[in-house]
Amino acid sequence: MYQEKEMQKVLKQVFGFEQFRPNQKEIIDAVMSGKDCLAVLPTGAGKSLTFQIPALLKNGVTFVISPLVSLMKDQVDQLRKLGISAAYINSSLNFVELRRTLAMTANQKFKLVYIAPERIHTRSFQFVYNHLLKKQSIALLAVDEAHCLSHWGHDFRPSYRQIKELRKYNNIPVLAVTATATQKVRDDITRELKFDNKALLQIGILDRPNLKYSVKQVLKKENSLIEFLKDKHEKKGIIFCSTRKSVEIVYSLCRKFNPNVGSYHGGLSDSDRKRVQENFCKNNLKWIIATNAFGMGVNLPDLRFVLHFEMPGSMEQYIQETGRAGRDGKKAECLMLYSLSDRKIHEFFIANSQPDSFVTQHLMDFFNRQEYPLDLTDQELRDNLSSISEKLEGRKLLRYLQLLEDLSMISWVTKGNIKSYSLNDKFDLSKLPLGILDNNTNEAKRKLDLMEGFCLQSTCLRASLQHYFQTNPTICGNCSHCLDEHQIRIDSAGPVAQEIYAALKTHPMRYGISTIAELLCGGRSQALFDRNLHGCDHYGVLSDYSQIEIKEFITKLVHKGAISRSNDDFPKIGLPKIRNQLI
């Protein structure tokens, strides 16, 4: 392995760690030998180290593209504490700081420079980048949270598409890392970044055997919450809610029987949020009731539970949030209290998160007509846009500005309460990709559907998480669904299974799980009559069981490989070509 001793030395002497975590060595080795690499490892697996160590071992500057201003600052602060020269370039810098940082970057005063994707495009950065390129002084391009590159990811950022510009005319290795990437997202990343066939794809195990997943469909969530928490006074955990309002409700409920709880949401001041986070990390608080604003950068090994008071908006979010539990490898519980109405709030979020194209166009038109540099306070900007100013109240203005920045239309530096804007070259009204806005909405809805499907299904939860992220699913035997007593014991050779196989032999790959289950249970839906299935020999042979039980049973057989399922939008089931020994 390439420079193994060197790698080990940096790990120990600079970062103070004794040994590499799984996958880290393989990734660093690939990067050191000049290969591109996509690493998909769970949150907390230690992905940052996989670009930080090569950055120290290689000559030149490593650029890290990162989507979150707050994360960049945390990482840079941490690196500086370790004595590593690092900096960040994003919209939180004022004009003087930005100039200084760019100049020092050009003079190779930093080993690592974190950069916001929307800054890649700026002339000043391009100048520095090309200067370093000429001097062959760029060590590596690291793309953190690489799923932001893909439409199919849960957090698509158009500006991530600019990363590929940095690859032009050079062979600087690229390391893309993310915690959540389905096959589609992985394909998008490797295509977008133009990985060649030598690239390494390192996928860590997303399965977390020490977590017990449960989904409970309940009407009165408060009762289930109290029931769950009653023996957990000494255990540390997070309770996630979808809205600030539910954070407040749950918080006051929990306060009644545990004084050591804190609440956390975007409506609190920065200092309050910091204080709550610190108290939680120092163990002064046992439970945190929070919106998903909480947790970025919090890395506590000993969380014993994560409770979702409401369903999150996507499987990616769910896996990220539950992934915070049990990092120490000891047992931890992940409970979701689900009700059918949880969906509504996410539909509302989706409808409101997408900027209105009329307002966007209006803003672009305004910026197109100005002289630059343009210095304005937010209020002055609103005053200039009086016809749409009510649509730009509060934080909405910032969201629109960020969209324009993200689309590389404008950029700005802050000076006190003034923003000093500049207009980018590519600015063109006809290029406003309104399609992206619509696509985002559809994609968000699709993800919500999948999340809801997860809550409603009756099969093994851990297996479906694995299935979703396309690792090989196995039935866990430990989640609420596997442990539920009313379920039929899975016996792939028993009489129930034999009836199912017989039906599939008659109707190979023609129907989905629901139809076959209904047929066997003797259902009375119109669809069954339309297909003339009520007259078939298999009709009603398993009428002692409910359709849900049989559906679940079939799904388990699918997971076991005893039944195969097609891959289309409406998957059909049948017997596998080679019937394996399980049958």
Non-local CB neighbours of 8 within 8 Å, separated by 6+ positions:
20
Distance CA 402, CA 411 (A): 9
Q: Does 23 bind ligand ADP (CB under 6 A)?
A: no
Which residue number, 86 or 496, has a Cβ lying nearer to ligand ADP? 86
Q: Per the structure block, which two tokens stand in for 304?
A: 């014993």
105 binds, among Mg ion, ligand ADP, none (CB under 5 to 8 A by kind): none
Which residue number, 17 or 545, has a Cβ lying nearer to ligand ADP? 17
Distance CA 462, CA 559 (A): 11
Q: Does 21 bind ligand ADP (CB under 6 A)?
A: yes
Distance CA 62, CA 282 (A): 33
Q: What is the pairing mode between strands 410-415 and 418-423?
A: antiparallel
In the set 37, 49, 557, 563, which binds ligand ADP (CB under 6 A)?
49
In the set 47, 119, 147, 538, which binds ligand ADP (CB under 6 A)?
47
Stretch that binds ligand ADP, among 20-28, 159-167, 191-199, 373-381 (CB under 6 A): 20-28
Burial 333-342 (b: 16+ CB within 10 A, else e): bbbbbbeeeb
44 binds, among ligand ADP, Mg ion, none (CB under 5 to 8 A by kind): ligand ADP
Q: Does 46 bind ligand ADP (CB under 6 A)?
A: yes
Q: Per the structure block, which two tokens stand in for 403?
A: 């969209």
Stretch that binds Mg ion, among 41-49, 230-238, 342-350, 469-477 (CB under 5 A): 41-49
CB of 177 to Mg ion, least distance (A): 7
Distance CA 539, CA 58 (A): 68
CB of 114 to ligand ADP, least distance (A): 13
Which residue number, 50 or 242, has a Cβ lying nearer to ligand ADP? 50
Stretch that binds Mg ion, among 43-51, 57-65, 431-439, 537-545 (CB under 5 A): 43-51
Beta carbons of 301 and 328 less than 8 angstroms apart:
yes
Between the alpha carbon of residue 254 and those of residues 68, 250, 258, 285, 289, the distances in Å are 31, 6, 6, 12, 9
Find the length of the chain: 583
Between the alpha carbon of residue 434 and those of residues 408, 409, 431, 496, the distances in Å are 14, 14, 9, 52
Stretch that binds Mg ion, among 45-53, 80-88, 263-271, 507-515 (CB under 5 A): 45-53
Beta carbons of 65 and 144 less than 8 angstroms apart:
yes
Q: Is 436 exposed, middle or buried (0-12, 13-18, 19+ CB in 10 A)?
A: middle
Q: How many residues bind ligand ADP (CB under 6 A)?
A: 13
Which residue number, 210 or 442, has a Cβ lying nearer to ligand ADP? 210
21 binds, among ligand ADP, Mg ion, none (CB under 5 to 8 A by kind): ligand ADP
Non-local CB neighbours of 128 within 8 Å, separated by 6+ positions:
102, 105, 106
Q: Does 17 bind ligand ADP (CB under 6 A)?
A: yes
CB of 283 to ligand ADP, least distance (A): 17
Q: Per the structure block, which two tokens stand in for 263?
A: 């609440």
Distance CA 119, CA 87 (A): 14
In the set 31, 45, 397, 461, which binds ligand ADP (CB under 6 A)?
45
In the set 44, 512, 561, 576, which binds ligand ADP (CB under 6 A)?
44
- Taking CB atoms, the residue at the shortest distance from ligand ADP is 46
In the set 299, 341, 370, 543, which binds ligand ADP (CB under 6 A)?
299
Residue ranges in contact with ligand ADP by CB under 6 A? 17, 20-21, 24, 41, 43-49, 299
Residue ranges in contact with Mg ion by CB under 5 A? 47
